[in-house]
């Protein structure tokens, strides 16, 4: 084998590792999102049943609020990977193939920039919450980690968007 062939094989292995790891992270966060939805339903249902008997679930609001943020944040990378977002394509389809490619690339680069900034902002906010010792209202649970989860999701959206730029017209994961 020549050095060029070895280098190409190494590159393909690296790309396969990148895509495989990214898929696993996305599917793992999808499971976290689903679990957060189950927690929201279970806590809300339990709170309603307890109220029928004159009791309450102390901290139900805290748990549901945190679970809601986790459900949305953890579901974002999967939705991006399957291209599940709502798209307005009326003008897009009137463009030539080259125009669609240019428009799509520009939009994806803007998405990368915005989500990268959002990820940085989330980490900064999480650090701020940790430094201040912020906790939830009722249960006094530390909440600094919630923006970290959102930041991780934003980083994954950036990586998925890079995948979409390199593989136009393909979903990363089939729904």
User: Is 173 a member of any domain?
Assistant: no
CA dist 94 and 85 (Å) reads 20
User: Is 24 a member of any domain?
Assistant: yes
Q: Please choose, from the candidates 75, 99, 71, 70, the residue with its C-alpha nearest in 3D space to the C-alpha of residue 85.
A: 75
The domain of 80 spans 3-166
User: Is 171 a member of any domain?
Assistant: no
User: Is 175 a member of any domain?
Assistant: no
Contact (Cβ atoms closer than 8 angstroms) between residue 146 and residue 72: no
User: Is 21 a member of any domain?
Assistant: yes
Q: What is the pTM of this model?
A: 0.87
pLDDT tens column, 14-43: 888 999 999 999 999 999 999 999 999 999
User: Is 66 a member of any domain?
Assistant: yes
Q: Please choose, from the candidates 73, 78, 77, 68, the residue with its C-alpha nearest in 3D space to the C-alpha of residue 36.
A: 68
Contact (Cβ atoms closer than 8 angstroms) between residue 157 and residue 80: yes
User: Is 72 a member of any domain?
Assistant: yes
Mean pLDDT over residues 151-171, rounded?
92
pLDDT tens column, 60-115: 999 999 999 999 999 999 999 998 877 667 777 788 888 888 888 999 999 999 99
Q: What is the tally of structural domains in the chain?
A: 1
Q: Between the CA of residue 162 and those of 90, 141, 171, what are the distances in Å?
A: 24, 36, 12
């Amino acid at each position: 084998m020549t050095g060029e062939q070895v280098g190409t094989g190494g590159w393909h292995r690296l790309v396969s590792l990148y895509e495989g790891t990214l898929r696993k992270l996305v599917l793992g966060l999808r499971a976290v999102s689903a679990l957060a939805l189950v927690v929201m339903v279970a806590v809300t249902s339990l709170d309603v049943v307890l109220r029928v008997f004159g009791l309450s679930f102390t901290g139900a609001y805290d748990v549901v609020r945190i679970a809601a943020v986790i459900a949305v944040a953890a579901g974002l990378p999967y939705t991006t990977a399957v291209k599940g977002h709502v798209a307005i394509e009326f003008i897009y389809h009137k463009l030539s193939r080259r125009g669609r490619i240019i428009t799509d690339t520009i939009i994806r680069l803007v998405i990368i920039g915005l989500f990268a900034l959002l990820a940085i902002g989330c980490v900064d906010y999480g650090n701020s919450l940790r430094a201040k010792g912020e906790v939830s209202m009722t249960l006094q649970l530390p909440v600094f980690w919630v923006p970290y989860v959102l930041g991780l999701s934003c980083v994954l959206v950036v990586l998925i968007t890079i995948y979409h730029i390199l593989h136009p017209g393909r979903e990363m994961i089939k729904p």
